[in-house]
Amino acid sequence: MKAYFVLFVFVCISCSGSQKIVSPTPKSRALDALVEKAKFEVTSDQASPLLTSSMAAISNSGLLGNGNSAGNINLIGNPNYLKVEGDTISADLPYYGERQMGGGYNSNAGIKFKAVPQNYSLTKNETNQQYQINFQISGEGAENFTISLVLFPNWKSSLQINSSQRTPIRYSGEVQALKEK
C-alpha cells in the first residue's frame, strides 16, 4: 500500500504544471529600454474582429478579399498604429465589426484617439519577460475604449480593444522604436 502512495505522490509531482522561466535576451532588454522611455509604436498586421452573424455574412459575400475571413483580416499594406509618447497615447486603426450605437454622418469608421489615458497600468511578467499594459481612453466623439496591450520579448504584440459603441476587436503586430522627428 505504501508503494502505491509513493507512486501516487510521484505522479502528482511530475504532472504538476511548471512555469518555464525565460531568461532576458538582448532583444528583451532593448524592449525594456523602449518601454521605460515610453517611446514606442505598435503596427498591426492582422485584425481579429468578434465573429458575429453580420461579419459571417460579409465574409460569405466575398467583400473581405482573398485570404481574409470573418475572424481574421490581413492588414499588411494598410497603415495603422498605436503610439506611446510619454504620457500621451494615440492610435489610428482600421475597424472591422459591428457598431452598436453612436457614429452618424461624417464620423470616423476606424478607431482614432490621442489623449492621456486614465487608469494606466504597466506590469512586467519576469517569468516570461512580457509586458501587460492596460488603460482606458476617450476617442473622437463620446466613444470610450478599454485597451489591453501585451508586448512580447520577441517584439510581437497583441492589442485588445473594447469599445463603448462597437464589438471588441484584437490586433496582432510588432513593436518598434518611435522614429525621431
Measure CA of the first residue to CA of the last residue in the chain; give whole Å: 74
Residues 6+ apart with CB under 8 A from 85: 38, 39, 178
For the segment 5-23, what is each residue's pLDDT rounded down to a tens digit? 545 555 555 555 555 676 7
Look at residue 43 and tell me whether its pLDDT is greater than 90.
yes
> 3-state SS of the chain: helix, strand, coil percent to 5?
20, 40, 40
Look at residue 154 and tell me whether its pLDDT is greater than 90.
yes
For the segment 60-92, what is each residue's pLDDT rounded down to a tens digit? 677 777 777 767 888 888 899 999 999 999 999
What's the number of CA atoms in the CB half-sphere (13 Å) around residue 73? 25
175: enclosing H helix or E strand: strand 169-177
Task: Give the pTM.
Answer: 0.80
Would you give the DSSP letter of residue 31? H
pLDDT of residue 120: 94
The domains found in the chain, sorted by start residue, are: 23-177 (2.40.128.410)
Q: Which residues make beta-bridge pairs with 132?
A: 123, 150
